[in-house]
């Protein structure tokens, strides 16, 4: 559950969570294809009073595969598609570095998420962070977030022992079939907590 001292905040990865994962990086707006149901899921989360922020590794920048104008154009398409579904992303935080740069902001390091916490002036303890890779879950745990794995993108083929191996590294992670299923979980829990608080009032 989110901190009582800050906004209701959800952090999402981008590729494989909001849009179809693409080998070789998304380098142009026309390559950004939303995952079915993901735009509506963000809209439902927004309408329940949550701020949604994206945290994404974009090593294609550091590799010279995409420049900032192209990154901005890709995100403009993302925002446009979300708006058409009644949703919004408040901000996009991205790491432009390659693994060889050994930076503090590339997931599984927590720097990107910690930057979000500082920007919003809120502790990250209990803030849901949704990803499709082990490094997303590891970054969430390192930052104090609540880790969630969606079985889309790179996690779409995970099952059985392979899924158990990943969860063994971050056993507190919750698993959802899609971003829509995560939204169902989040909003159901949110409603239950609000009802409980009302009963205590």
pTM exceeding 0.85: yes
User: Which H or E run contains 129?
Assistant: strand 128-131
Q: 117-141 as b/e, with b when 16 or more CB fall inside 10 Å? A: beebebebeebbbbbbbbbbbbbbb
Going by C-alpha positions, the residue among 62, 66, 59, 68 that lies closest to residue 31 is 66
pLDDT along the chain (201 residues), means of 10: 70 96 90 97 97 94 90 96 97 93 93 96 95 96 97 84 91 96 95 65 49
User: Given this structure, which CATH class describes domain 9-119+131-194?
Assistant: alpha beta
């Amino acid at each position: 559950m989110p901190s009582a001292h800050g906004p209701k905040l959800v952090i999402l990865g981008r590729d494989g969570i909001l849009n179809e994962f693409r080998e070789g990086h998304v380098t142009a707006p026309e390559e950004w294809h939303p995952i079915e149901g993901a735009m509506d899921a963000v809209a439902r989360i927004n309408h329940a009073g949550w701020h949604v922020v994206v945290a994404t590794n974009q090593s294609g920048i550091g590799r010279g595969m995409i420049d900032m104008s192209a990154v901005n154009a890709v995100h403009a398409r993302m925002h446009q598609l979300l708006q058409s579904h009644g949703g919004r992303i408040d901000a996009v935080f991205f790491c432009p570095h390659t693994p060889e740069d050994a930076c503090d902001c590339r997931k599984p390091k927590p720097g990107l998420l910690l930057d979000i916490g500082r920007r919003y002036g809120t502790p990250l303890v209990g803030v849901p962070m949704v990803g499709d890779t082990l490094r997303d879950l590891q970054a969430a745990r390192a930052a104090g977030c609540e880790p969630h794995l969606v079985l889309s993108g790179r996690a779409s083929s995970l099952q059985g022992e392979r899924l158990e191996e990943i969860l063994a590294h971050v056993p507190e992670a919750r698993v959802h079939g899609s971003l829509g299923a995560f939204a169902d979980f989040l909003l159901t829990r949110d409603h239950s907590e609000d009802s409980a608080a009302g009963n205590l009032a």
